[in-house]
Structure 1
Amino acid sequence: MKLKKIFAILLSVALCLGLTGCWNSRELNTLAFATSLGLDKTDKGILMTVQVFNPRAIASQKTVNETYVIIYTQEGKDIMEMVRRMITQSPRKINVTHLQTVIFGEEFAKEGIGPALDFFSREHQFRTDIYFTVAYDSTANQILRTQSKLDANPSNNLFSSIKSSDQIWAGSKSVKIIELINSIISDGKEAVVTGVEITSRRPGRDTLGELEKMEDDPIRVRNLAFFKGDKFAGWLDEDECKGYNYLMGNVWDTVGYVEAPEIGKITTEITNMEADRNVELVNGKPVIHVSLKFRSNIENVTGTLDISKVENLRKIEMLCEKKLKKQCLKSLAHTKEYGSDIFGFGELIHRKYPSYWKTVKENWSEEYKQVPVDLKIDYEIQRTGTLGNTFFKGGSKK
């Protein structure tokens, strides 16, 4: 019995020895780390553009006259095959474990992004925190070939812009793969994806010399692309993006302003918001109820309005309510034209009235165009700042 125990222990140790180490490890000098990937539609199928770190530029301790990223392209019909085929161009194997952003060309997105999302979700190397975007008025290839002024790595610049704007600006929204897939496959909700555009059309914007002459960064986050199923349907402008985020309760911190002859121009910061969304059947038809509560502070005053008076603060609050409601209704009207329920009102109906949902599910894109939305907004200014009334009265010294 004792010998059996000793034999079992020795066998266990021997087996454990075979489990140690990284069986699929690769030396760093054999890998090329991709930071961003773009997909465009072509006559032959798909043009894939990959942005990878330039190890020579990064490792150099002196200033070098070359970019920190290298661009590789492949054209074909299968994404994984094109990634592997890039070894014919790159001396190193393309590694996607550090991928930060994926950019879909608009024409590619019109054909449907479902197959691409299947690949990104199925392949084990891809992380789940990749940001997905759609190229606005350009192609993914053009965007990835454009250098950034603020960050040596354009992908880092785009990744940071998407992340920051999502936190402090209501005019955009970050979208990762799980949320994107869930929106596409869910009953009663359509997807939105961040837009990214090239601000400068100057030739040579992909060179360091031309980049130094530009005043603004040539790449910026702009607008939201909205979908029907997995196919691109249209764009929301800045006001419509804000309206979408307000209706969804996505806003944590943002700024805006109202302007009128009787108050001048008042800039406020929204510091908190709550969104209550519900649905009820009225005469057998759904009515959506949305109640939005905003809490804000005054950040800037241009004019002579006495903001210490309660009645004047109420004037400002009413103008803010009116502006926010206009943005929300504009966003609703635009998406109703396309029958794209990006607000998930269908989901509300599905959860509360599953039997009714079965009768409208197959034709929800048309039903959505007719569904009424009862919108109520409560806007409260909590603080006016430490200054009180402005000491700039708009006049000049005589």
Structure 2
Amino acid sequence: MYRIRVSGILLMTAVILTGCWNRTELNELAITTATGIDRSQHDWIVSYQSIVPSTVASSTGGSGGGGSQPAVHTFSLRTKTIHQAMNDSSMESPRRVYVAHNHVLIISQKSAEQGLSELLDYYLRSAETRETVGMVITDGKASDMLKNMIPPEKIPGMSLSNILERETENVSVYPSVSVFEFAQHFYSDAGGQIVPMIGLTGQQSAKNMDKLRSLDILKKTSAPVKISLTKAAVFNGDRLVGFLNRSESYGLSWLNRKIRGTELPLPCSASESSGRLGSVRINRVKTHFNPVKTGYHYTMQVRVKVRGVLSESACQQDLSKPETIRSLESILEKQIEKDIYTGWDKIQKLGVDALGFADKVHRKYPGQWKSIRKEWPREFKKMDLDVQVKATIRRTGLLKKTLK
């Protein structure tokens, strides 16, 4: 009787545990680290940058012969829809494209000008894609950008993602934007968004890349062509409508609460003409917004509290005196206000609310919002900005005076 019961249990277990019938082995996947999106008339050109496992293993001390083969393989497909490219990749790639580990999404300027609503739909609808992937725009072809290496790393997609992350943490001029953040702004009352742009910079233009490779110049310690953040793209809804230079984008980072860490050079005094500068490292920022109805229009009151440390100084003043520190704080406040108004003037001329001011007005004045909702772009151009900055320098480092 005991044997019959044990046999019955084993039989039932064998029926329930059917095994990994739908398993996918790791060596069957083409793990994608970066994706490029281009447009050609009504077709999509989707490019995938996938890892070559044997090369990565050999470069990290594992088995396998990578030799001089690149650590990634890039290929492109032209299809009618974005998801179709994943299926059509079977005609070119021996492995199934796996985008769950995608780090960055590179979109060409031409694609951005035609609209990205279909791209957003794909990323929000698919269960495999990640909405946390970072977005960048390029003024050239996204497929060409994926074919360039980013020394000293072997996987360009991961390197570009790290550049975006570190720039956001340490500089905050072109803060990173994920697909999810872009979609949030797209469906908000404001509808505007700012996305960083990348391009090829250096002594040589992108057109000379093939010639440089043939001459073996790229093996020098410093490549003449590099991928770097160059400017910012302004979106109204899902379409690209304008650009921001470094100073304009930096000013809007203060208004977008995107400043996480940044360095500000300052003159030693308001009347300084010798060119001597100090430098303050900002490590904490608090920004408060308050929309106020003034007559027939609105004024956005912006109050910014900044805290930082003195990281460098060529000034002759005695930094142990409180009045010297207060003078530097006053200069810092005026500099930040100037940067903010520089970005504000540009975005107001474009008439694109990429700052989310519409959402703030809607929350405070829900009754009035119904009447101005359709006219908000025009109302945004008439809005006034009232900025007040309070800066505090907490530490001056190990020196109270300069070495001079």
TM-score computed with the length of structure 1 as normaliser: 0.89
Is 1:67 the equivalent of 2:70? yes
Helix, strand or coil for the counterpart of 2:292? strand
Is 1:139 the equivalent of 2:137? no
Match of 1:279 among 283, 287, 291: 291
Distance in structure 2 (CA, Å) of the matches to 1:296 and 1:43: 50
CA contact 1:51–1:71 (8 Å) conserved in 2: yes
Question: Match for residue 53 of structure 1?
Answer: 51
Distance in structure 2 (CA, Å) of the matches to 1:78 and 1:388: 63
CA offsets 1:212-264 (integer angstroms, 9 cap, x no match): 22625711234322210110112222222221121122222211102342682
CA contact 1:66–1:208 (8 Å) conserved in 2: no
Is 1:220 the equivalent of 2:228? yes
Unpaired stretches in structure 1, ≥5 consecutive residues = 1-5, 394-398
Match of 2:187 among 185, 189, 197: 185
- The within-5 A match list for 1:1-398 is 17=16, 21-43=19-41, 45-60=43-58, 61=63, 64-135=67-138, 137-200=139-202, 201=205, 202-204=208-210, 209-213=216-220, 215=222, 218-259=226-267, 260-261=272-273, 264-391=276-403, 393=404
Moved more, 218-227 or 337-346: 218-227
Structure 1 residue 289, shift from structure 2 partner: 0.5
Distance in structure 2 (CA, Å) of the matches to 1:206 and 1:33: 27
Distance in structure 2 (CA, Å) of the matches to 1:335 and 1:207: 44
Give the 3 Å change call, closer, same or farther, for CA 243–134 of structure 1 in structure 2: same
Helix, strand or coil for the counterpart of 1:192? strand
Distance in structure 1 (CA, Å) of the matches to 2:15 and 2:238: 46
Structure 1 residue 315, shift from structure 2 partner: 2.8
Helix, strand or coil for the counterpart of 2:374? helix
CA offsets 1:305-360 (integer angstroms, 9 cap, x no match): 33333333233222222221111111111111111111111110111101111111
Question: Match for residue 396 of structure 1?
Answer: none
CA offsets 1:48-73 (integer angstroms, 9 cap, x no match): 21111112312335661121111111
Helix, strand or coil for the counterpart of 1:255? strand
Moved more, 256-265 or 161-170: 256-265
Moved more, 53-62 or 247-256: 53-62
Distance in structure 2 (CA, Å) of the matches to 1:319 and 1:305: 14
Give the 3 Å change call, closer, same or farther, for CA 209–262 of structure 1 in structure 2: closer
CA contact 1:191–1:226 (8 Å) conserved in 2: yes
CA contact 1:263–1:305 (8 Å) conserved in 2: no
Helix, strand or coil for the counterpart of 2:192? coil
Distance in structure 1 (CA, Å) of the matches to 2:182 and 2:213: 30
Distance in structure 2 (CA, Å) of the matches to 1:145 and 1:122: 28
Q: Which amino acid aligns with 1:199?
A: T
Provide the identity percentage. 25
CA contact 1:189–1:347 (8 Å) conserved in 2: no
Moved more, 171-180 or 98-107: 171-180
Give the 3 Å change call, closer, same or farther, for CA 300–358 of structure 1 in structure 2: same
CA contact 1:225–1:235 (8 Å) conserved in 2: yes
Structure 1 residue 146, shift from structure 2 partner: 0.6
Distance in structure 1 (CA, Å) of the matches to 2:133 and 2:260: 22
Distance in structure 2 (CA, Å) of the matches to 1:30 and 1:63: 18
Moved more, 355-364 or 199-208: 199-208
Q: Which amino acid aligns with 2:234?
A: F
Distance in structure 1 (CA, Å) of the matches to 2:102 and 2:15: 33
Give the 3 Å change call, closer, same or farther, for CA 115–346 of structure 1 in structure 2: same
Structure 1 residue 209, shift from structure 2 partner: 4.6
Q: Which amino acid aligns with 1:65?
A: S
Q: Name the Cα RMSD after superposition.
A: 2.5
Q: Which amino acid aligns with 1:215?
A: S
Give the 3 Å change call, closer, same or farther, for CA 149–354 of structure 1 in structure 2: same
Moved more, 232-241 or 209-218: 209-218
Unpaired stretches in structure 2, ≥5 consecutive residues = none
